[in-house]
Amino acid sequence: MNHLILGCGYLGRRVASLWLAQGNGVRAVTRKPDTSAKFRQLGIEPILADILQRNTLQSLPQVDTVLYAIGLDRSTGAAMRSVFVDGLANVLDHLPRPQRFLYISSSSVYGQTGGEWVDEDAATEPQEASGRIVLEAERLLRARLPEAIILRFGGIYGPGRLLRKKTVEAVEPIVGDADKWLNLVHVEDGAAAVIAAQQRGQPGRIYNICDDQPVRRREFYEELARRLEAPPPRFVPPSPNQPPPPHELANRRIHNRRMHDELGVTLRSSNYLEGLTYSLD
């Protein structure tokens, strides 16, 4: 089988590795020529294109599966809506229709703030602007490609990518309510979930992708500090003179039952304690 990845970064490269190990052909879009050489070294065929430059998307290939995992690269200066909504529209205008289209979304589309449990049928009324943009992109995709599978990820972490690691090591205060919930997934489990969705996901279905145990910020960062041999973290409230940071609006616990029942995903890191073990040297 042949697969195409748009957004072949922290998660996408691990998915590519799994596909290559299965003997599949993998292509990946990049706008950086130097990244093309790195892709070739990994066995990935690079396609030089930019989702915000329509003229570069003319030669997107026909493939069996597309993984769309585009994130926001703040170094480009592009606005989030331009990347998530306009970029997706550009790709859909030029992409030959695949058998499978897997879209990496975010649990930020949910707007619940009271710590309640949330599944895929819950209301999507995000409070933060970024969540509203992600939801707009989902709706565009659903209108244009109804059979696409949407994977709403919790916070992805793993080796080289730990939430607020530098802040904890520097003993700097963490701005926010320590008792609010985090919903996380280790990157290796996230990649396995993508493969499961490609193989067993139902067309048009939405799946929450996260581990089995939401964790309060206090517990997570205290455990991270302990493993880094740093002092316990200190939490401070947001400044009353400024709007609250986006993460401070979110407070919910994400159900992953559908991921287990329909995709058959078995997590290596079912909770943050196991995930940290697989993330720190």
pLDDT tens per residue across span 110-148: 999 999 999 999 999 998 999 999 999 999 999 999 999
Among 81, 85, 105, residue whose Cα is nearest residue 93: 85
Q: Could you tell me how far CA 247 lies from the centroid of its own chain?
A: 15
Q: Is 149 helix (H, G, I), strand (E, B) or coil?
A: strand
244-268 mean pLDDT:
92
Tens of pLDDT, residues 160-218: 999 999 999 999 999 999 999 999 999 999 999 999 999 999 999 999 999 999 999 99
Q: For the chain, what are the domain ranges?
A: 2-159+184-213+251-268
Computed over every residue of the chain, the mean pLDDT equals 95
pLDDT at 77 over 90: no
237 versus 16: the higher-pLDDT residue is 16
The CA-atom distances, in angstroms, between 243 and each of 116, 130, 246, 264 are 24, 14, 9, 41
Radius of gyration from C-alpha coordinates of the chain: 19
69 versus 78: which is more confidently predicted? 69
Give burial (CB, 10 Å; 0-12/13-18/19+) of 250: buried
pLDDT band at 238 (very low <50, low <70, confident <90, very high): confident
Q: What is the pTM of this model?
A: 0.96
Q: Which CATH class is domain 2-159+184-213+251-268?
A: alpha beta
CB 268 within 8 A of CB 278: yes
Mean pLDDT on 230-245: 86
The letter for the amino acid at 210 is C
Beta bridge partners of 149: 102
SS3 202: coil
Q: What is the pLDDT of residue 241?
A: 79
pLDDT-derived band at 249 (thresholds 50, 70, 90) equals: confident
SS (H, E, C) 18-84: HHHHCCCEEEEEECCHHHHHHHHHHCCEEEECCCCCHHHCCCCCCCCEEEECCCCCHHHCCCHHHHH
Contact call for residues 206 and 88 (beta carbons, < 8 A): no
